[in-house]
Structure 1
Amino acid sequence: MIRLAILLLALAAAPSWAAIDIYQFDSDAQQDRFHRLTEELRCPKCQNQSIADSDAEISQDMRERVARMIREGHSDEEIVTFFVDRYGDFVSYRPPFNPRTAILWVGPLTLLLLGGVGIVLLVRRASREAEEDDQ
């Protein structure tokens, strides 16, 4: 019984063991940029998670690099470009429109249109069959 209580207490305290990144900036504007950029960049290891939300080691490294580049005076565009050059367009939640990323921009619309055409064709076929059965 005591072992179970200790185990439950240990499990309840587990979230407090998580490492918390604390970065010092010269101004609130730099801190705001850091938060915005870490929400804008996607973790290369995690599935659809920003580096701000990810606990992966690569995300921790990326957060440290973002903080350092902000302190060094790099622009937001330079920081995003650095990570895109290193990890590819996937790392950005807003990839540019180019031949490599066209499927990301056009794909969902194309699938939606094809689905709509498919539904229209099925409805027409069903209504024709219903008319033929009535005759």
Structure 2
Amino acid sequence: MIIRFLLSCVLALLLSAAPAFAVNPDEILGNPQLEQRARDISANLRCLVCQNQSIDDSDAELARDLRVIVRERLVSGDTDAQVMDYVVDRYGEFVLLRPAFSARNILLWGTPIFVLILGGVAAFAYSRRYSSSASGPVSLTHEEEERLNKLLDDEDDK
């Protein structure tokens, strides 16, 4: 009895760890190959409402509309690349979870590198300035030495 309960708990935990897809049963295509292609495409498209989920994982209405568009395009005979191009033309490159490296989005890819280099240069400049100012006492000029000696002599006279 206890073993059966433990096995049930383990099975429940394993099933709860499985990915939850938001694809509704009425969206699923009858052709398994087309459905797999639709899932592969949907996994690479960003939900414009959730922004950090694919449309395959999102419950948002817009994500559902995008999933339907992807399936309609596949049924009409489009290739995977044509479907992706259609969605990108309609919604922009932001809809891609992994945008391509291009001249149009060089700022997106280059900003982290630029900030890292800028931080390194600032840290280097700060450390050089700090180490040069803390290098030890600075020698006095001739006029400063004379004035100091005069003050010390006046102090000794008192």
The aligned length equals: 116
2:69 corresponds to which residue? 65
Work out whether 1:81 is the aligned partner of 2:85.
yes
Give yes or no for contact 1:39–1:52 (8 Å, CA) kept in 2. Answer: yes
Is 1:46 the equivalent of 2:53?
no
**Which residue pairs with 2:106 in the alignment?**
102
When Rg is computed on C-alpha atoms for both structures, the one with the higher figure is 2
The question of whether the paired residues in 2 share the 8 Å contact of 1:43 and 1:49 is answered with yes
Can you give the 5+ residue segments of structure 2 that lack an aligned partner in the other structure?
A: 1-21, 140-158
Contact 1:25 1:71 in 2 (8 A): no
| Identity level (%) | 38
- Tell me the amino acid that sits aligned with residue 21 of structure 1: N
CA separation of 1:117 and 1:68: change in aligned 2, threshold 3 A:
same
Deviation at 1:134, TM superposition (A): 9.2
Once the 2 structures are TM-superposed, how far is the Cα of residue 36 of structure 1 from its aligned partner?
Answer: 1.8
- TM-score by length of structure 1 reads 0.71
Paired AA for residue 118 in structure 1: A
Change (3 A) 1:112 1:25: farther
RMSD: 2.4
TM-score after normalising by structure 2: 0.62
Change (3 A) 1:130 1:91: same
Pick which of 78-87 and 103-112 moved more: 103-112
